């Protein structure tokens, strides 16, 4: 697989090293030339100096041939813009890191469903540790071809779990509503805006992503989202 990282922070570096070790192609986009020179001596991957939120920079890494674009700078605003530009340029999958949870709703409105909030992940882990709840390594639970897929329910997804018309070897196992976790069974009725977690075979992931990717007519449900898109379109045209 081919992966592009925007921002040469510690998460990008450690993940990139692991991917390279496993034979994947990696490109890191970074504005700081001195940092690139330093990392080039210890990492066997490609580097591109530039602003990863700029269309002309992202075009240089061949979006159509890239499997993942990770936007991992230390600026939430830069990550949001880079993610929108990346999606417009045709990257297959865009992952957005945000430090401030208040941007989460905006990410959902803009169709950036692969959003990660590092502080939340760490806080949940520490909370479970203090509470005496075991934290099984995900690799010991999800093995072989099993995969998780998450989606934000749209209006047409506000149905019972059994009516989601999932592949035979895929099942909705839980969901989050207003930040509250709940188990799901066949009779569970979802609402628009629910975050639904599906356990599935890896072969189904392309079809699931295709089915739940945002349609152009649905991408901007709010004035804020519309304003963001106009700004990105202007940037791309320039």
What residue segments make up the domains of the chain, in order of their start? 2-122, 136-212
Confidence band (pLDDT; 50, 70, 90) for 222?
very low
Note every long-range contact of 220-229, with CB atoms under 8 Å and residues 24 or more positions apart, other chains counting: 220/109, 220/110, 221/109, 222/109, 224/106, 224/109, 225/106, 225/109, 225/110, 228/80, 228/84, 228/106, 228/110, 229/84, 229/110
Tell me: the pLDDT tens digits for 131-190?
666 555 555 555 667 888 888 898 999 999 999 999 988 999 999 988 788 999 999 999
Q: Is the pLDDT of residue 231 over 70?
A: no
The one-character DSSP state at 172 is: E
Which pLDDT value is given to residue 238?
A: 47
Which pLDDT value is given to residue 224?
A: 43
* Averaged confidence pLDDT in the chain: 83
φ, ψ of residue 24 in degrees (nearest 5): -90, 155
Tell me: the pLDDT tens digits for 197-212?
999 888 888 888 888 8
Q: 136-212: same fold as 2-122?
A: no
- Of residues 124 and 159, more confidently modeled: 159
Read off the pTM.
0.60
Which pLDDT value is given to residue 133?
A: 62
Which CATH code of 3.30.70.1450, 3.30.70.260, 3.40.47.10, 3.30.470.30 fits the domain covering 136-212? 3.30.70.1450
Which pLDDT value is given to residue 89?
A: 96
Confidence band (pLDDT; 50, 70, 90) for 217?
very low
Q: Is the pLDDT of residue 99 over 50?
A: yes
Query: Facing residues of 146 across strands?
Result: 201
- How is domain 2-122 classified at the CATH fold level? Rossmann fold (3.40.50)
Residues 6+ apart with CB under 8 A from 45: 16, 20, 25, 26, 27, 28
């Amino acid at each position: 697989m081919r992966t592009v990282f925007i921002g040469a922070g510690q998460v990008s570096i450690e993940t990139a090293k692991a991917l390279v070790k496993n034979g994947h192609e990696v490109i890191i986009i970074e504005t700081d030339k001195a940092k690139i020179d330093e990392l080039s001596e210890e990492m066997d991957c490609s580097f591109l100096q530039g602003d990863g939120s700029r269309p002309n920079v992202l075009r240089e890494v061949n979006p159509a041939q890239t499997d993942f674009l990770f936007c991992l700078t230390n600026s939430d605003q830069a990550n949001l813009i880079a993610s929108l530009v990346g999606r417009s340029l045709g990257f297959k999958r865009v992952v957005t890191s945000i430090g401030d949870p208040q941007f989460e709703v905006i990410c959902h409105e803009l169709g950036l469903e692969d959003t990660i909030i590092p502080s939340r992940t760490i806080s949940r882990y520490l909370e479970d540790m203090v509470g005496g709840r075991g934290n099984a390594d995900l690799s010991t639970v999800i093995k072989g071809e099993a995969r998780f897929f998450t989606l934000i329910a749209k209006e047409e997804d506000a149905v019972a779990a059994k009516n989601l018309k999932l592949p035979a070897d895929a099942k909705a196992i839980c969901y989050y509503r207003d930040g509250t976790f709940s188990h799901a069974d066949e009779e569970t009725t979802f609402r628009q805006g629910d975050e639904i977690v599906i356990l599935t075979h890896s072969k189904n992931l392309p079809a699931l992503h295709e089915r739940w990717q945002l349609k152009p007519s649905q991408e901007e449900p709010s004035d804020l989202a519309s304003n963001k898109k106009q700004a990105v379109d202007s940037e791309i045209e320039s």
